[in-house]
Amino acid sequence: MSWANTVVAIVAGDAREQEIARCAVRAGATVRAYGFPWPQEGIEGVYHASDAADALKGADIALFPIPGITPEGALFAPSCPEKIIPTREMLAGMNRPAHIILGWADANLKGHCEALGITLHEYEWDVDLMLLRGPAIVEGVLKVIIENTKITIHKSNVMLVGQGTIGSLLTHTLVALGAHVHVAARNPVQRAAAYAAGAEPLTLEDLPDHLPRMDIVIGSVPKRLLEREQLALLPKHALLVDVAAPPGTIDRDAAGALGLKAVWARGMGARAPVTVGRSQWSGIGRRIEGILEAKR
């Protein structure tokens, strides 16, 4: 399929977007970019825009990051000096029909796109993409744990809250490393899978009975499930790692007030940007090809 005359804007993100931009150029698209770390040598074939509106000008398809939008509506762009908050004026410069492919959209972005006739394609919960970038996320979480604890993962007591795609990968890895893994999940099938992987399955209601013994707590549910009342049950040495999209599983402010160390490990896929960028592109590219096919 020819990508000729297709303009792709890549806005916000981290080093993964560099590789995604290279993949888009190789596919034959015209690529405009802004808001992610820009290499000193540039990216061959990619126009480095002056701001987000400039990148989106004349674009048929915009790619926004996977990590969730902040409560104030900003896209994930840790290296960008300003917050990139999509506005109606910013998006209005796109061609019609226009498409935005991203992890997930908040109500404001959905409202702007509906008003402008822009189609949103959300893929935060696509299992294939989650699995493709899962190994990098798991490695990143292990790095966070190792750098922020004084104990080994081996023989440590770990609580995983949530057992979706990433949570299940973490369960298998931590069990293999010799940790005593406990999994709290609402879904009985997920609890059964955790049991089969060698972890102790729990309901969310069981958490208060087990938190006092935990060394490490990992949250992977994009919903606040661990509030101050539950966090107060943890020992003071416990490490909290939140890998969920906003608002996260853990009340990190309450954790700090209680003297607990809490790390919001967003964007863990950036640990291996070339590998993860290419794997993300495998899914993004398929979606763009579907859009182009429908236009023929």
CATH of residue 93's domain is 3.40.50.720
- pLDDT for residue 267 is more than 70: no
Find the mean pLDDT for residues 42-69: 95
pTM attached to this predicted model: 0.76
Predicted confidence (pLDDT) per residue in 163-201, tens digit:
999 999 999 999 999 999 999 999 999 999 999 999 999
Residues 261 and 163 in one domain: yes
Residues 163 and 118 in one domain: no
Residues 111 and 137 in one domain: no
Confidence of residue 134 (pLDDT cuts 50, 70, 90): confident
Residues 78 and 100 in one domain: yes
Instruction: Quote the mean pLDDT of the chain.
Output: 93
The verdict on residue 175 lying in a domain is: yes
> What's the pLDDT at 12?
97
Tokens of 116: 């402008």
What is the total count of domains within the chain?
2
The verdict on residue 2 lying in a domain is: no
Question: Which range has the worst mean pLDDT, 126-130, 159-163, 236-240?
Answer: 126-130
Residues 166 and 83 in one domain: no
Residues 118 and 139 in one domain: no
Higher per-residue confidence, 134 vs 207:
207
Confidence of residue 222 (pLDDT cuts 50, 70, 90): confident
The verdict on residue 281 lying in a domain is: yes
Confidence of residue 44 (pLDDT cuts 50, 70, 90): very high
Domain holding 67, by residue range, is 7-124+273-295
Confidence of residue 80 (pLDDT cuts 50, 70, 90): very high
Residues 159 and 107 in one domain: no
The verdict on residue 286 lying in a domain is: yes
The verdict on residue 249 lying in a domain is: yes
The verdict on residue 89 lying in a domain is: yes
Q: Which of 64, 63, 19 lies closest to 44, judged by CA?
A: 19
Residues 238 and 141 in one domain: yes
Residues 94 and 207 in one domain: no
Residues 51 and 76 in one domain: yes
Residues 135 and 230 in one domain: yes
Q: What percent of the chain has pLDDT over 70?
A: 98
The verdict on residue 226 lying in a domain is: yes
Highest mean pLDDT among 22-31, 128-137, 267-276: 22-31
The verdict on residue 35 lying in a domain is: yes
> What's the pLDDT at 194?
97
Question: For residue 172, what are the CA distances in angstroms to 58, 176, 270?
Answer: 45, 6, 21
Residues 187 and 242 in one domain: yes
Q: What is the layout of strands, in order, in the sheet containing 216-219?
A: 200-202, 180-184, 157-161, 216-219, 239-242, 261-264
Predicted confidence (pLDDT) per residue in 86-119, tens digit:
999 999 999 999 999 998 899 999 999 999 999 9
Q: What percent of the chain has pLDDT over 90?
A: 80
